[in-house]
A and B are shown apart, each in its own frame.
Chain A
Amino acid sequence: MSLLSIDNLQTHFFTSAGVVKAVDGVSYSVDRGEVLAVVGESGSGKSVTGLSVMGLIEPPGRIAGGSIRFDGKEIANLPQAQMRKLRGARIAMIFQDPMMTLNPVLRVETQMIETIKAHRSMSWNKAWAHCRDALGRVGIPSPDERMRAYPHQFSGGMRQRVAIAIALLNKPDLIIADEPTTALDVTIQAQILHLMQQLVEEDGTGLVWITHDLSVVAGFADRVAVMYAGEIVEQATTDGLITAPRHPYSRGLIGSVPSRNVRGTRLAQIPGGPPPPLNRPDGCRFAPRCTFRKQGCEAAQEIRDDVRCWRVADLPALEEVSA
């Protein structure tokens, strides 16, 4: 039994302009100690999926269908009081912009200790020591002094480390990391990535790593789920996806990873943009941008061995993208 398994999830926003099906039939699962990367363009529904798991979708949005099972228990549309007990204790989430995720007017110690006290009773002193150790563990120098500091006294990378320390405080079984390195410098990105990898390995935590940058994923994630316009178009092992992407969209993504391109050649890009969420084509949503499109794509929707492309078997063999 998987730690988290999402099945045919539907999360919709009922706006005055119409129903935005931000997540439209997404299924994926993560085991303990496993790292699943969720990649896709902006607006494909990666964050909304993560927030649905956390029970943090706010009106006009709601989970309109499907199931989310965590540790064997159905948690989609769980009452807020029960969901609150899971959040931050058994499922933690880290967000993209470390400049914005810590409350600017509260000390780091306050923001850490409250995370413990929300879930178990512990003396302030004991909780404080525990939090200090957690800061040390994520590589913050002189944690004793830093406990009393305010977020603006940290650099971006250090703030993300604080956020990670907070997420790990109650030893969660699952962490959802929503592009936690996107806002950081490349060197800091690598450090944070390394840190996360090490921490989840030590604790045997399941990790959902949301990103729109495939190059971050290689050598880190066990599996990759590729999202496009509210759907998962392909799931594969990381090696499998990188060496042999099968869905035309994944092929395009791999083509646009810089390291696979020869220096000097232009970055391969998928022409066009994703369909507007209120007006998506029937059938294959990627069809309008697909180089392999032919008649019938506008009607087809089915998944053939883990790939949402009805013609996956007859697509031409992958050309070597790097010359």
Chain B
Amino acid sequence: MILARPKTVSSILALVGGMKSLVVAGCQECVTVCQSGGRKEVSCVAQLLEIAGKKRGFPFEIAQVTVFRQCDNECLVPLDALMEKADACISLGCGVGVQFIAERYPTVMVIPGVDTVGGGGTVMSGVWEERCAMCGECILAETTGICPVTRCAKGLLNGPCGGSVDGRCEAGTDLPCAWEMIYHRLKKQGRLDSLRRIRPPKNWAHSGSGAMRKVIREEVMPCLSALPLK
């Protein structure tokens, strides 16, 4: 899922100063699971905004809505009526959701209510960890299902740096060294030889450092003949 962490409500308030009508929009997918943008979080943010508004003597009119998925245009229909009179929308969806809302309602200011962190999972209740940096060219088969791009602090592809000590990463004592993890798992699988292979420079053009990525698969696209002519 996409991991996100709540922004402070004061940072949102700073942007909606003179406004009256707000929509706080949640998403039932990833941000619900990582408890930063689901129905409950929407309610908390809306209530905090309401309290802040009352405290100033100029209450907001706040609508709450949590859609099935913010990153799908069809799912945004429940926002249509609300957005008509909204001065701003605070989206607790990930950065994708925020952008899909902004695209659908180009005349309304859209404010991200969370900081989108990355692709990760729940390690235990209340703890989420990043696992995938979405590099666009997955090498997990060779690294025993441990991603060095994400989990090695330097994204090294050819083994550990000199700072790995007792299995800990030099960049933080609370982080395991990804390469030592890979080494142990390779050993368990009897595949240590793969550590000897020199992995050439990675094609980062597929990653976020290239141009905006696009996935196109014609077999799932609507048939062109069925589309209305331009």
- Tell whether A pairs with B: no
Give the B-binding residues of A (Cβ under 8 A).
none
Give the A-binding residues of B (Cβ under 8 A).
none
